[in-house]
Structure 1
Protein backbone atom coordinates (compact mmCIF):
# COMPACT_ATOMS: atom_id res chain seq x y z
CA UNK A 1 0.00 0.00 0.00
CA UNK A 2 2.87 2.35 0.81
CA UNK A 3 4.28 1.92 -2.70
CA UNK A 4 0.86 2.57 -4.26
CA UNK A 5 0.49 5.76 -2.20
CA UNK A 6 4.00 6.77 -3.17
CA UNK A 7 3.22 6.46 -6.87
CA UNK A 8 -0.28 7.94 -6.95
CA UNK A 9 0.18 10.95 -4.68
CA UNK A 10 3.87 11.66 -5.28
CA UNK A 11 3.89 15.30 -6.42
CA UNK A 12 7.52 15.16 -7.60
CA UNK A 13 10.40 17.29 -6.33
CA UNK A 14 11.17 20.31 -8.48
CA UNK A 15 12.24 23.93 -8.27
CA UNK A 16 9.47 26.49 -7.71
CA UNK A 17 9.59 27.45 -11.40
CA UNK A 18 8.84 23.90 -12.47
CA UNK A 19 6.12 23.61 -9.81
CA UNK A 20 4.54 26.77 -11.20
CA UNK A 21 4.69 25.39 -14.76
CA UNK A 22 3.07 22.13 -13.58
CA UNK A 23 0.29 24.14 -11.92
CA UNK A 24 -0.32 26.15 -15.09
CA UNK A 25 -0.23 22.98 -17.21
CA UNK A 26 -2.71 21.18 -14.95
CA UNK A 27 -5.06 24.18 -14.81
CA UNK A 28 -5.05 24.93 -18.53
CA UNK A 29 -5.29 21.33 -19.73
CA UNK A 30 -7.85 20.47 -17.03
CA UNK A 31 -10.08 23.46 -17.73
CA UNK A 32 -9.90 23.05 -21.52
CA UNK A 33 -10.79 19.36 -21.32
CA UNK A 34 -13.52 20.08 -18.78
CA UNK A 35 -15.21 22.30 -21.38
CA UNK A 36 -15.36 19.26 -23.70
CA UNK A 37 -16.67 17.09 -20.88
CA UNK A 38 -19.46 19.42 -19.73
CA UNK A 39 -21.23 19.09 -23.09
CA UNK A 40 -20.96 15.32 -22.87
CA UNK A 41 -22.20 15.43 -19.25
CA UNK A 42 -25.27 17.36 -20.41
CA UNK A 43 -25.85 14.81 -23.19
CA UNK A 44 -25.54 11.90 -20.76
CA UNK A 45 -28.00 13.30 -18.22
CA UNK A 46 -30.14 15.49 -20.49
CA UNK A 47 -32.92 13.04 -21.26
CA UNK A 48 -32.43 13.10 -25.03
CA UNK A 49 -31.57 9.88 -26.86
CA UNK A 50 -27.83 9.30 -26.63
CA UNK A 51 -25.97 9.53 -29.91
CA UNK A 52 -22.29 8.99 -29.28
CA UNK A 53 -19.57 6.98 -31.02
CA UNK A 54 -19.10 3.44 -29.73
CA UNK A 55 -15.47 2.77 -30.66
CA UNK A 56 -15.00 -0.09 -28.18
CA UNK A 57 -18.28 -1.89 -28.86
CA UNK A 58 -19.69 -1.39 -25.35
CA UNK A 59 -22.67 0.71 -26.37
CA UNK A 60 -23.13 4.43 -26.93
CA UNK A 61 -24.30 5.10 -23.36
CA UNK A 62 -21.35 3.30 -21.75
CA UNK A 63 -18.91 4.98 -24.13
CA UNK A 64 -20.37 8.39 -23.31
CA UNK A 65 -20.28 7.62 -19.56
CA UNK A 66 -16.61 6.68 -19.78
CA UNK A 67 -15.84 9.88 -21.69
CA UNK A 68 -17.74 11.92 -19.08
CA UNK A 69 -15.85 10.17 -16.27
CA UNK A 70 -12.49 11.05 -17.76
CA UNK A 71 -13.26 14.46 -19.22
CA UNK A 72 -15.21 15.76 -16.21
CA UNK A 73 -14.15 13.93 -13.05
CA UNK A 74 -10.53 13.32 -14.01
CA UNK A 75 -10.17 16.88 -15.31
CA UNK A 76 -11.40 18.20 -11.96
CA UNK A 77 -8.89 15.97 -10.19
CA UNK A 78 -6.13 17.37 -12.42
CA UNK A 79 -7.19 20.94 -11.73
CA UNK A 80 -7.06 20.47 -7.95
CA UNK A 81 -4.05 18.17 -8.15
CA UNK A 82 -5.55 15.16 -6.38
CA UNK A 83 -4.39 11.72 -7.49
CA UNK A 84 -2.95 13.55 -10.45
CA UNK A 85 -0.85 10.76 -11.93
CA UNK A 86 -3.75 8.33 -11.70
CA UNK A 87 -6.29 10.87 -13.04
CA UNK A 88 -4.15 11.47 -16.12
CA UNK A 89 -4.44 7.82 -17.23
CA UNK A 90 -8.17 7.75 -18.20
CA UNK A 91 -7.72 11.09 -19.95
CA UNK A 92 -4.74 9.73 -21.84
CA UNK A 93 -6.69 6.62 -22.88
CA UNK A 94 -9.72 8.71 -23.93
CA UNK A 95 -7.53 10.89 -26.16
CA UNK A 96 -5.79 7.86 -27.70
CA UNK A 97 -9.18 6.31 -28.50
CA UNK A 98 -10.32 9.61 -30.03
CA UNK A 99 -7.18 9.99 -32.13
CA UNK A 100 -6.52 6.42 -33.18
CA UNK A 101 -10.00 4.90 -33.38
CA UNK A 102 -12.76 7.53 -33.60
CA UNK A 103 -10.83 9.82 -35.98
CA UNK A 104 -8.63 7.15 -37.60
CA UNK A 105 -10.00 7.83 -41.08
CA UNK A 106 -10.49 11.59 -40.69
CA UNK A 107 -6.90 12.57 -41.37
CA UNK A 108 -4.26 14.12 -39.20
CA UNK A 109 -6.13 17.41 -38.83
CA UNK A 110 -8.77 15.67 -36.66
CA UNK A 111 -6.20 13.53 -34.84
CA UNK A 112 -3.81 16.33 -34.00
CA UNK A 113 -5.61 17.83 -30.99
CA UNK A 114 -6.24 14.53 -29.18
CA UNK A 115 -2.59 13.59 -29.80
CA UNK A 116 -1.43 16.88 -28.30
CA UNK A 117 -3.63 16.21 -25.25
CA UNK A 118 -2.20 12.67 -25.10
CA UNK A 119 1.32 14.09 -24.96
CA UNK A 120 0.37 16.51 -22.18
CA UNK A 121 -1.29 13.75 -20.15
CA UNK A 122 1.81 11.56 -20.51
CA UNK A 123 3.92 14.43 -19.17
CA UNK A 124 1.54 14.98 -16.24
CA UNK A 125 1.44 11.26 -15.44
CA UNK A 126 5.24 11.13 -15.39
CA UNK A 127 5.95 14.43 -13.62
CA UNK A 128 3.09 14.50 -11.11
CA UNK A 129 1.26 17.53 -9.81
CA UNK A 130 4.11 19.51 -8.30
CA UNK A 131 4.10 21.48 -5.06
CA UNK A 132 0.95 23.50 -5.74
CA UNK A 133 -1.47 20.60 -5.43
CA UNK A 134 -3.52 18.55 -3.01
CA UNK A 135 -1.15 15.66 -3.73
CA UNK A 136 1.63 17.75 -2.19
CA UNK A 137 -0.49 18.63 0.84
CA UNK A 138 -1.32 14.95 1.37
CA UNK A 139 2.34 13.93 1.24
CA UNK A 140 3.91 17.02 2.85
CA UNK A 141 6.22 16.03 5.62
CA UNK A 142 5.86 12.30 4.92
CA UNK A 143 8.60 10.23 3.41
CA UNK A 144 7.05 8.21 0.58
Structure 2
Protein backbone atom coordinates (compact mmCIF):
# COMPACT_ATOMS: atom_id res chain seq x y z
CA UNK A 1 0.00 0.00 0.00
CA UNK A 2 1.42 3.38 -1.00
CA UNK A 3 1.49 6.48 1.15
CA UNK A 4 -0.98 8.19 -1.18
CA UNK A 5 -3.56 5.41 -0.87
CA UNK A 6 -3.03 5.20 2.91
CA UNK A 7 -3.54 8.97 3.24
CA UNK A 8 -6.64 8.82 1.06
CA UNK A 9 -8.05 6.08 3.29
CA UNK A 10 -7.32 8.11 6.44
CA UNK A 11 -8.96 11.19 4.88
CA UNK A 12 -12.03 9.09 4.11
CA UNK A 13 -12.21 7.82 7.70
CA UNK A 14 -11.72 11.37 9.03
CA UNK A 15 -14.53 12.65 6.78
CA UNK A 16 -16.85 9.87 7.96
CA UNK A 17 -16.07 10.63 11.62
CA UNK A 18 -16.75 14.34 11.05
CA UNK A 19 -20.11 13.56 9.38
CA UNK A 20 -21.07 11.36 12.35
CA UNK A 21 -20.00 14.11 14.79
CA UNK A 22 -22.11 16.67 12.90
CA UNK A 23 -25.13 14.36 13.01
CA UNK A 24 -24.69 13.80 16.75
CA UNK A 25 -24.34 17.55 17.36
CA UNK A 26 -27.66 18.01 15.54
CA UNK A 27 -29.36 15.47 17.80
CA UNK A 28 -27.73 16.42 21.12
CA UNK A 29 -28.20 20.17 21.04
CA UNK A 30 -27.15 22.08 24.14
CA UNK A 31 -30.78 22.96 24.92
CA UNK A 32 -31.91 19.34 24.71
CA UNK A 33 -28.96 18.30 26.85
CA UNK A 34 -29.83 20.95 29.44
CA UNK A 35 -33.48 19.82 29.49
CA UNK A 36 -32.47 16.18 30.02
CA UNK A 37 -30.02 17.24 32.76
CA UNK A 38 -32.74 19.23 34.53
CA UNK A 39 -35.18 16.30 34.36
CA UNK A 40 -32.57 13.77 35.47
CA UNK A 41 -31.79 15.81 38.58
CA UNK A 42 -35.46 16.45 39.34
CA UNK A 43 -36.60 12.81 39.33
CA UNK A 44 -34.92 11.42 42.49
CA UNK A 45 -35.89 14.46 44.55
CA UNK A 46 -39.48 14.40 43.26
CA UNK A 47 -39.82 10.69 44.07
CA UNK A 48 -38.48 11.24 47.58
CA UNK A 49 -40.78 14.23 48.08
CA UNK A 50 -43.90 12.38 46.93
CA UNK A 51 -43.19 9.68 49.54
CA UNK A 52 -43.24 12.27 52.35
CA UNK A 53 -46.87 13.34 51.77
CA UNK A 54 -50.20 11.62 52.40
CA UNK A 55 -52.22 14.27 50.60
CA UNK A 56 -52.35 17.97 49.88
CA UNK A 57 -50.38 19.71 52.67
CA UNK A 58 -50.60 16.48 54.71
CA UNK A 59 -47.09 15.40 55.73
CA UNK A 60 -47.05 11.71 56.61
CA UNK A 61 -46.01 10.43 60.03
CA UNK A 62 -43.20 8.30 58.63
CA UNK A 63 -41.36 11.35 57.27
CA UNK A 64 -41.48 13.06 60.65
CA UNK A 65 -40.53 9.85 62.45
CA UNK A 66 -37.48 9.39 60.21
CA UNK A 67 -36.20 12.90 60.96
CA UNK A 68 -37.03 12.50 64.64
CA UNK A 69 -35.40 9.11 65.33
CA UNK A 70 -33.63 7.50 62.35
CA UNK A 71 -31.83 10.18 60.36
CA UNK A 72 -28.74 11.74 61.93
CA UNK A 73 -26.27 14.40 60.84
CA UNK A 74 -22.79 12.87 60.62
CA UNK A 75 -20.64 15.81 61.63
CA UNK A 76 -17.38 15.73 63.60
CA UNK A 77 -18.14 14.62 67.15
CA UNK A 78 -21.53 13.23 66.02
CA UNK A 79 -23.81 11.84 64.81
CA UNK A 80 -26.32 14.47 65.88
CA UNK A 81 -30.12 14.57 65.80
CA UNK A 82 -31.77 16.91 63.32
CA UNK A 83 -32.90 20.12 65.02
CA UNK A 84 -36.69 20.69 64.89
CA UNK A 85 -37.37 17.39 63.08
CA UNK A 86 -41.00 18.21 62.22
CA UNK A 87 -39.99 21.51 60.64
CA UNK A 88 -37.06 19.88 58.81
CA UNK A 89 -39.37 17.13 57.47
CA UNK A 90 -41.86 19.77 56.29
CA UNK A 91 -39.14 21.90 54.66
CA UNK A 92 -37.53 18.85 53.05
CA UNK A 93 -40.82 17.48 51.73
CA UNK A 94 -41.86 20.87 50.39
CA UNK A 95 -38.51 21.53 48.69
CA UNK A 96 -38.46 18.04 47.17
CA UNK A 97 -41.79 18.80 45.47
CA UNK A 98 -41.36 22.49 44.55
CA UNK A 99 -37.73 22.55 43.36
CA UNK A 100 -38.05 19.65 40.88
CA UNK A 101 -41.18 21.26 39.38
CA UNK A 102 -39.30 24.54 38.92
CA UNK A 103 -36.33 22.65 37.47
CA UNK A 104 -38.36 20.73 34.89
CA UNK A 105 -40.24 23.87 33.84
CA UNK A 106 -36.98 25.80 33.69
CA UNK A 107 -38.34 28.53 35.96
CA UNK A 108 -35.88 30.03 38.43
CA UNK A 109 -33.65 27.24 37.21
CA UNK A 110 -30.32 28.25 38.72
CA UNK A 111 -31.93 28.98 42.08
CA UNK A 112 -33.79 25.63 42.04
CA UNK A 113 -30.55 23.81 41.17
CA UNK A 114 -28.78 25.63 44.01
CA UNK A 115 -31.53 24.52 46.41
CA UNK A 116 -31.11 20.90 45.31
CA UNK A 117 -27.33 21.24 45.66
CA UNK A 118 -27.80 22.36 49.28
CA UNK A 119 -30.21 19.46 49.86
CA UNK A 120 -27.62 17.10 48.37
CA UNK A 121 -25.02 18.39 50.82
CA UNK A 122 -27.38 17.75 53.76
CA UNK A 123 -28.22 14.30 52.38
CA UNK A 124 -24.48 13.57 52.14
CA UNK A 125 -24.08 14.55 55.79
CA UNK A 126 -27.00 12.24 56.63
CA UNK A 127 -25.97 9.26 54.48
CA UNK A 128 -22.17 9.51 54.13
CA UNK A 129 -21.83 6.18 52.29
CA UNK A 130 -24.04 7.44 49.47
CA UNK A 131 -21.37 9.73 48.06
CA UNK A 132 -21.14 8.07 44.60
CA UNK A 133 -24.77 9.00 43.93
CA UNK A 134 -24.63 12.31 45.79
CA UNK A 135 -21.61 13.52 43.82
CA UNK A 136 -23.55 12.81 40.62
CA UNK A 137 -26.45 14.94 41.86
CA UNK A 138 -24.03 17.68 42.90
CA UNK A 139 -22.34 17.61 39.46
CA UNK A 140 -25.72 17.88 37.71
CA UNK A 141 -26.79 20.78 39.95
CA UNK A 142 -23.49 22.58 39.38
CA UNK A 143 -23.79 22.03 35.61
CA UNK A 144 -27.28 23.53 35.60
CA UNK A 145 -26.10 26.46 37.70
CA UNK A 146 -23.12 27.06 35.39
CA UNK A 147 -24.78 26.62 31.97
CA UNK A 148 -28.34 27.63 32.80
CA UNK A 149 -31.63 26.11 31.72
CA UNK A 150 -31.16 26.26 27.93
CA UNK A 151 -33.64 27.50 25.35
CA UNK A 152 -36.26 24.87 26.26
CA UNK A 153 -37.30 26.62 29.48
CA UNK A 154 -39.64 29.24 30.86
CA UNK A 155 -36.62 31.29 31.93
CA UNK A 156 -35.53 31.49 28.28
CA UNK A 157 -39.07 32.21 27.08
CA UNK A 158 -39.44 35.08 29.56
CA UNK A 159 -35.99 36.43 28.70
CA UNK A 160 -36.85 36.45 24.97
CA UNK A 161 -40.21 38.14 25.67
CA UNK A 162 -38.52 40.90 27.67
CA UNK A 163 -35.91 41.53 24.97
CA UNK A 164 -38.57 41.72 22.24
CA UNK A 165 -40.47 44.49 24.05
**Greater mean alpha carbon deviation, residues 57-66 or residues 88-97:** 57-66
**Deviation sequence 1:68-88 (CA, Å, 0-9, x none):** 232110010001000000111
Larger relative contact order (CA 8 Å, sep ≥ 6) = 1
Unmatched 5+ residue regions in structure 1? 1-14
Partner of 2:29 in structure 1? 17
Q: Tell me whether 1:60 sits opposite 2:85 in the alignment.
A: yes
- TM-fit CA distance, 1:141: 4.7
- Output the TM-score relative to the length of structure 2: 0.65
Mark the structure with the bigger radius of gyration.
Answer: 2
CA change 1:37–1:46 in 2 (3 A) is closer
- Output the TM-score relative to the length of structure 1: 0.74
**Greater mean alpha carbon deviation, residues 46-55 or residues 72-81:** 46-55
Partner of 1:114 in structure 2? 134
Partner of 2:61 in structure 1? 48
CA RMSD across the alignment: 2.5
- TM-fit CA distance, 1:96: 0.8
CA change 1:134–1:69 in 2 (3 A) is same
**Deviation sequence 1:75-112 (CA, Å, 0-9, x none):** 1000100000011111101111111x1123xx3xx222
**Deviation sequence 1:103-130 (CA, Å, 0-9, x none):** 23xx3xx222122111111111111100
Q: 1:27 aligns with which of 39, 54, 57?
A: 39
Residues 59 and 90 of structure 2 are in contact (CA less than 8 Å); yes or no, is this contact kept in structure 1? no
Per residue, is there more helix in 1 or in 2?
2
Q: Tell me whether 1:102 sits opposite 2:102 in the alignment.
A: no
Unmatched 5+ residue regions in structure 2? 1-25, 74-80
Residues 52 and 60 of structure 2 are in contact (CA less than 8 Å); yes or no, is this contact kept in structure 1? no
CA change 1:122–1:91 in 2 (3 A) is same
Per residue, is there more strand in 1 or in 2?
2
Q: Tell me whether 1:140 sits opposite 2:165 in the alignment.
A: no
Q: How many residues align?
A: 124
- TM-fit CA distance, 1:54: 5.7
